[in-house]
Amino acid sequence: MTYLSPIIGLALALIAGAIMFSFLGKPPLGALYAYFIEPVSEMWSVHELLIKAAPLILMGAGLCVCYQSNNWNIGAEGQMIMGGMAGSILPVLFPQIAGPFVLPAMLIMGVIGGMAYAGIPALLKTKFKTNEILTSLMLVYIAQLILDWTVRGPWRNPHGLNFPETRQFDAFARLPEMIPADGRANFGFVIAVVVALLIWVLMAKTMKGFQVKVIGASPRAAKFAGFDAKNMVFFAFLLAGATAGLAGIVEVAGASGQLRTTISPGYGFTAIIVAFLGRLNPIGAIVAGLVLALTFLGGEAAQISLGVSDKVARVFQGLILFFVLACDTLILYRIRFVASKIIPKGAA
Amino acid sequence: MDQGEVLLKLEGISKYYGSFKANDQISLEILPGEIHALLGENGAGKSTLVKMLYGSLQPDEGRIIWEGQEVHVPNPAAARDLGVGMVFQHFSLFDALTVAENVALALPPGKSLKQVAKELEEISTSYGLPLKANARIHDLSVGERQRVEIVRCLLQHPKLIIMDEPTSVLTPQEAEDLFKVLRRLSDEGKAILYISHKLAEVQALCQEATILRHGKVVGECVPGDETPISLAKMMVGSDIHEISPRDVAVAHGDVMLQVKSLSLSGLSGFDTALKDISFMLHAGEISGIAGIAGNGQNELFDAVSGERVSEEECILIKGEPVGNMGIQKRRKLGAMFISEERLGHAAVPEFALSENVILTRHGLDKSLNKGPFVSRRAAKKVKDDIVAKFDVRKGSSDPTAQSLSGGNLQKFVLGREVMGDAEIIVVNQPTWGVDAGSAAHIRQWLVDLAAKGAAVLVISQDLDELFEVADAIATLNEGRLSPFVPTRSTDRHKIGLQMTSGTLEQA
Amino acid sequence: MGMTEAILLTIATAATPLLIAALGELVVERSGVLNLGVEGMMIMGAVGGFAAASLTGNPWIGILIAILFGAITSLAFAFLTLSLAANQVATGLALTILGLGLSGLIGEPFVGQAGIKLSNISIPVLTDLPLVGPLLFGQDPIFYMSIALVIGVAWFLFRTRFGLTLRSIGDNHISAHALGIPVLRYRYFAVMFGGACAGLAGGHLSLVYTPQWVENMSAGRGWIALALVVFASWRPARVLAGAYLFGAVSIGQLHAQALGVGVPSQLLTALPYIATIVVLVLISQNVRTTLINTPAMLGRAFVPER
């Protein structure tokens, strides 16, 4: 039952996608094949898939904790940017510092950057009761502008022919590739899977995870249990911010190797879909992260092989979220309905 | 009986939810001007039946005959057109709107708000139910809210008024005033279908009674010809367990819980604040706090439990100041709390019972915590113990809290709280929405706990319950607590007076 | 036309889409529904309006299609949250993501095309009056619609039976249902009205404000409109004030950029977003007003008993 709704949702999204392709004048089945199968039929492109999946899995798993505790953090994109920037401080400003400790230090600084930025909406929510949905989103726009200014201004590569980008990171400041002979995928994917598994353990086995679920399911009961809702706001936001920050620096130190004016094609927003497609379960987020990475990869592939716009990827992602939400509630609704037949609600 | 005279006749009305029969072949007749009681326990199917009469639900089988004509009632507006009015138990009012706006919403469109306001003030004065048309509902007391419901209903000029448990929110005196209004309406020829589980008032008020049990009509009678015991037997289907009294001679022990000049401002702006509340609770004693809902009971419960913190010195548990401590620290000191709402407060509705064990026993039951991890196996064991000891009836081995009936869930919640070493028990509305059998068990357990030396504080709207279990009773009125008086030396009338105008007696 | 008039005019132009979208959302939220998909509906309106106008050559058809696009997009939200009782926050986000993607796809052929501008009205003599002329009698037609909407929405909500019923649903849908008010039907209409308004706001963007199609051209305005509703504590006249305040901020930063003040352009561009956060923090200080005015059912699903 639990796995049924995302699978049906995906299937419906594919059907809607086929209809969309036929509207665009492409043979629907062939187009779906070119979009979803072809891109993973070769080893190097599987590597590309893993590169794209890493940030999605990281942030998706972190957002599971936010959404399960009713903290509507939709600013992972901004937290990712801040993580990428904070993590780049060492290789950009202090390139002379070299050694094996640089990369771990970068990762830690990335985590801190993401946490700090996620701390802003958490602070505003707890201290001023400001709606976190709007603040976390506004902070995305602000982060994008900060990144743009930094890369065009103070951090621009002095030897870079005026391109808006920082200097290339040295090898010791880059995430190593897993199997260089086969493709570009770096250890970011491994980090992502490990982090997702750790968050799963947290949610499924620990007292803290129990708290998260109680606070999300019933704030009043959480109070009765003595769980501190304000603490939870910080916990959820900082955890999600940490994963987003890590995703940011993984992206920068991995695939791109330098900071540019954009570091993400909207991974932070796609991670929202990852969280829901994965049923707010961190292990589900691993699978969902791979699926949504495929929509990005397929979008690029379809642009070349079919000549359709890469915007198709975004449409697919939106459709997936829509259908998953619809199927989720359809199934839940039925359960609720059946349950209400057994126990009449409010019968007095 | 002459067919033409009957106002409403139900024939074989049934409502199914899957295999569950909420209403099973219900038939009854109501004459104009008759006050007809619909008696039954929680879950007997009373609300389901009247919702079908009012058009909120549709029957699966059966006929509704109104003034000799078979009718179909597709929605409440149709019911109102026929002449059926309803006064809801859980008021169907809109807090943010004015009285006039609330009334206008239930009337057919066309009248201006000014007209509605004028008419409602006229009718409310004529029936002795004074109301201000432009007051907002959230500023009104519970009694006043009920007036709005009644006046709204009267403005529709109904021939039949359905009243769902109208006195559950009233003091005995307010209830008497309501009965006067109802008798007058009956004299004017309006029929009243009066839903209640309170036998005394049914006997005093109603000319006819239909008794429901498990969705079926199990009896019809003239209430005046019956005794409360015979009525109760019909309603419950078996004899009700009588509380075995404690040894009254037991001397009260140490002060276990003390509240000292506790004042609390309303958080939301709608809450009744608590005003300078002080009392002491001794070991082996059951103290009862009476009062109409909304007079500060929930705030007092939250302050004592620690869900809202206050000044450190305002609350002492076993002499230790705990006012600024959270609920879990107070539990560790031996105080246990049972809230009014079960689903969504004392228990997470969609969580399994074993998970609901962890909810309040984490940190207390050492077996539940293993470092940062939770032991679900230990939680299941505790759950099994509670279920066995407190007679919790359930369908599967570890069902969700929301799938249990009110009575069984309350038994589970009570069991969870008193399984350990409960020295102080604070319980808010212990038998609200609980069937009579479970309610009797719950009261007995409270009495037994006190007999074993626990200090018990019972906050309840149900005066019968307090007179049954409490040694001393105080009333909470607009956030002020009257002094406790021994139950022996007071009566329902005196307590009832205090519930509305506590100052009268205090001064 | 003098400098002052020009600035005031551009402020009105910048404020109009915010005002319209926020008014629509205000009606939605008054019915107890939280639709976070304003951004998505707005961008759909923008692309639909631009495409229709450039295919037909008639900006008015563009406006009509913009309204239609917004309303149709909102219907998807309404179906999920009202008929299926899906989580309103998540569905609103889905609507925004889908709207941004779909609009990009639909708008692809129109990127870089010269747009058709809905021209300002011009009344002989009146428009030529100094200062008040262009401001009162020389603006684009949507501006007048937006002002009419403020009055219309206020009148509807507080002076009509339907408005009263809508507010009652937002206050307590269970009571409303008990009285026999068709809760879901009202909410469907409210959500679609909100969608139509967001669509119109989008049409204003692509046919009046900057008559061209640029991907993601709504640039967070849908979200700012959402913030405005909170800022206005669900009252139409205060939405008007808030929208013009934001219009002034965004025009002010544009002028500052043009004048080349010694501040990075990115910081100036960020001003409306920073202002939104600041305003939200300030408004949430007033707990009591917020609490009294917030529709009590906001964001809560209603499942009728059967």
pLDDT at B248: 56
Neighbours of C33 (CB within 10 A): 31
CB distance C97–A314 less than 8 Å?
A: yes
Which of A78, A117, A7, A88 has its CA nearest to residue A267? A78
CA distances (Å), origin A251, targets A64, A255, B33, B243: 21, 6, 80, 70
Domain that holds residue C233: 3-293
The nearest CA of chain C is from the CA of B75 a distance in Å of: 6
Phi, psi of B472, deg, nearest 5: -145, 150
Q: What is the pTM of this model?
A: 0.90
Q: Which range has the worst mean pLDDT, A294-298, B88-92, B171-175, B359-363?
A: B88-92
User: What is the band of A345 on the pLDDT scale with cuts at 50, 70, 90?
Assistant: very low
Percent pLDDT > 90 in chain B is 55
List helix spans (H) across A160-266: 188-205, 207-217, 219-224, 229-251
The total of structural domains in chain B comes to 2
Interatomic CA distance for residues B427 and B415, integer angstroms:
13
Phi, psi of C303, deg, nearest 5: -120, 110
Map tokens 């219009």 to a residue.
C247
Interatomic CA distance for residues B309 and B328, integer angstroms:
12
* pLDDT lower than 50: segments of chain C: none
Amino acid sitting at position B322: V
The nearest CA of chain A is from the CA of C194 a distance in Å of: 18
pLDDT at B396: 86
For residue B394, give the 3-state DSSP assignment. Answer: coil
For residue B450, give the 3-state DSSP assignment. Answer: helix
Interatomic CA distance for residues A68 and A78, integer angstroms:
21
- Within a domain: residue B225? yes
The nearest CA of chain B is from the CA of C198 a distance in Å of: 28
**Cβ pair B22, B6 in contact under 8 A:** no
CATH of the domain at C40: 1.10.3470
pLDDT at B268: 56
User: What's the pLDDT tens digit per position in B227-246?
Assistant: 888 888 888 777 666 777 66
pLDDT at B271: 55
Helix (H) or strand (E) segment spanning residue B221 = strand B216-221
- Within a domain: residue C278? yes
Interatomic CA distance for residues A198 and A201, integer angstroms:
5
Which of C174, C130, C118, C210 has its CA nearest to residue C301? C174
Would the pLDDT of B127 be above 60? Answer: yes
User: What's the pLDDT tens digit per position in A46-100?
Assistant: 999 999 999 999 999 999 999 999 999 999 999 999 999 999 999 999 999 999 9
- Within a domain: residue C306? no
Report yes or no: A231 at the B interface, CB cutoff 8 Å: no
- Within a domain: residue B47? yes
Helix (H) or strand (E) segment spanning residue B424 = strand B424-428
Neighbours of C163 (CB within 10 A): 17
**Cβ pair B422, B334 in contact under 8 A:** yes
Interatomic CA distance for residues B193 and B203, integer angstroms:
14
Interatomic CA distance for residues C196 and C67, integer angstroms:
5
List the 429-488 stretch of B: residues with Cβ below 8 A of A. 433
pLDDT at B419: 84
N- to C-terminal Cα separation, chain C = 64
Neighbours of B224 (CB within 10 A): 12
Beta bridge partners of B280: B258
Beta bridge partners of B23: B15
3-state SS, A80-119, equals HHHHHHHHCHHHHHCCCCCCCCHHHHHHHHHHHHHHHHHH
Would the pLDDT of B112 be above 80? Answer: yes
Interatomic CA distance for residues B49 and A132, integer angstroms:
45
List residues of chain C with CB under 8 Å from any CB of chain B: 161, 164-165, 167-168, 171-172, 174-181, 287-288, 291-292, 295-296, 305-306
- Within a domain: residue A347? no
Would the pLDDT of B223 be above 80? Answer: yes
Percent pLDDT > 70 in chain B is 94
Q: Does residue A285 come out as left (phi exceeding 0), alpha (psi in the -120 to 50 range) or beta?
A: alpha
- Within a domain: residue A249? yes
- Within a domain: residue B244? no
The total of structural domains in chain A comes to 1
pLDDT at B177: 87
- Within a domain: residue B243? no
User: What is the band of B250 on the pLDDT scale with cuts at 50, 70, 90?
Assistant: low
For residue C262, give the 3-state DSSP assignment. Answer: coil
Query: Counting beta carbons within 10 angstroms of the beta carbon of residue A126, is it exposed (0 to 12), middle (13 to 18) or buried (19 or more)?
Result: middle
The nearest CA of chain A is from the CA of C25 a distance in Å of: 14
Interatomic CA distance for residues B129 and B144, integer angstroms:
8
Neighbours of A52 (CB within 10 A): 26
**Cβ pair C183, C177 in contact under 8 A:** yes
Domain that holds residue B8: 3-236
CATH of the domain at A122: 1.10.3470
- Within a domain: residue C304? no
Cα angle A223, A228, A233; round to 5: 120
List residues of chain A with CB under 8 Å from any CB of chain C: 67, 72, 74, 124, 128-131, 133-135, 137-139, 141-142, 145-146, 148-149, 153, 269, 272-273, 276, 309, 311-319, 321-322, 325-326, 328-330, 333, 336, 345
- Residues B74 and B177 grouped into a single domain: yes
CATH of the domain at B7: 3.40.50.300
C95, two tokens: 């609507």
CA dihedral of residues C150, C151, C153, C155 (deg, nearest 10): 160
- Within a domain: residue B378? yes
3-state SS, chain A, equals CCCHHHHHHHHHHHHHHHHHHHHCCCCHHHHHHHHHHHHHCCHHHHHHHHHHHHHHHHHHHHHHHHHHCCCCCCCHHHHHHHHHHHHCHHHHHCCCCCCCCHHHHHHHHHHHHHHHHHHHHHHHHHHHCCCHHHHHHHHHHHHHHHHHHHHHCCCCCCCCCCCCECCCCCHHHCCCECCCCCCCCECHHHHHHHHHHHHHHHHHHEHHHHHHHHHHHCHHHHHHCCCCHHHHHHHHHHHHHHHHHHHHHHHHHHHHCCCECCCCCCHHHHHHHHHHHCCCCHHHHHHHHHHHHHHHHHHHHHHHHCCCCCHHHHHHHHHHHHHHHHHHHHHHHHHHHHHHHHCCCCCC
pLDDT at C152: 97
- Within a domain: residue B241? no
List the 352-391 stretch of B: residues with Cβ below 8 A of A. 355, 358-360, 362, 369, 372-374
Interatomic CA distance for residues B220 and A204, integer angstroms:
55
CA dihedral of residues B184, B190, B196, B201 (deg, nearest 10): 30
Interatomic CA distance for residues B11 and A340, integer angstroms:
26
Which of A61, A60, A62, A57 has its CA nearest to residue A238? A62
Helix (H) or strand (E) segment spanning residue C250 = helix C236-259
- Within a domain: residue C180? yes
Neighbours of A93 (CB within 10 A): 13
- Within a domain: residue C302? no
Neighbours of A248 (CB within 10 A): 38
Nearest neighbour of B76 by CB, restricted to C171, C179, C291: C179
Interatomic CA distance for residues C143 and C147, integer angstroms:
7
Which of C149, C177, C160, C150 has its CA nearest to residue C297? C177
CB distance B101–C176 less than 8 Å?
A: no
- Residues B190 and B329 grouped into a single domain: no
Which range, A1-15, A333-347, C269-283, is most confident? C269-283
* For testing contact with chain A, the best of B195, B348, B351, B432 (most A CBs within 10 A): B348
B455 or B167, greater pLDDT: B455
- Residues B328 and B392 grouped into a single domain: yes
Interatomic CA distance for residues A94 and A113, integer angstroms:
17
User: What is the band of A346 on the pLDDT scale with cuts at 50, 70, 90?
Assistant: very low
Q: Which residues contact C83 (CB under 8 A, 6 or more apart)?
A: C184
- Residues B134 and B283 grouped into a single domain: no
User: What's the pLDDT tens digit per position in B355-406?
Assistant: 999 999 998 888 998 889 999 999 999 999 999 999 898 888 999 998 888 8
B330, two tokens: 């107070």
Interatomic CA distance for residues B457 and B424, integer angstroms:
8
Report chain A residues whose CB lies below 8 A from the CB of B405: 343
User: What's the pLDDT tens digit per position in A217-252?
Assistant: 999 999 999 999 999 999 999 999 999 999 999 999
pLDDT at B267: 60
The nearest CA of chain C is from the CA of A101 a distance in Å of: 34
ipTM of the complex: 0.88
Q: Which range has the worst mean pLDDT, A251-265, B43-57, B434-448, C285-299?
A: C285-299
- Within a domain: residue C192? yes
Report chain B residues whose CB lies below 8 A from the CB of A338: 18
pLDDT at A1: 55
DSSP B47-79: HHHHHHHTTSS--SEEEEEETTEEE---SHHHH
Please compute the mean of the pLDDT values over residues A112-138 and round it to a whole number: 95
Neighbours of B2 (CB within 10 A): 6
Would the pLDDT of A164 be above 80? Answer: yes
C44, two tokens: 């759909």
Interatomic CA distance for residues C257 and B41, integer angstroms:
74
- Within a domain: residue A213? yes
User: What is the band of B502 on the pLDDT scale with cuts at 50, 70, 90?
Assistant: very low
Please compute the mean of the pLDDT values over residues A298-321 and round it to a whole number: 87
- Within a domain: residue C30? yes
- Residues B171 and B262 grouped into a single domain: no
For residue C121, give the 3-state DSSP assignment. Answer: coil
Domain that holds residue A238: 4-342
- Within a domain: residue C132? yes
Beta bridge partners of B141: none
Interatomic CA distance for residues B206 and B224, integer angstroms:
8
- Within a domain: residue A246? yes
Please compute the mean of the pLDDT values over residues B69-73 and round it to a whole number: 93
Phi, psi of B160, deg, nearest 5: -135, 130
Which of B279, B339, B283 has its CA nearest to residue B476? B279
Interatomic CA distance for residues C51 and B273, integer angstroms:
59
Q: Which range has the worst mean pLDDT, A121-135, B421-435, B489-503, C62-76?
A: B489-503
Interatomic CA distance for residues C195 and C35, integer angstroms:
9
Amino acid sitting at position B448: D
CB distance A321–C264 less than 8 Å?
A: no
Beta-strand runs (E) in chain C? none
- Residues B85 and B175 grouped into a single domain: yes
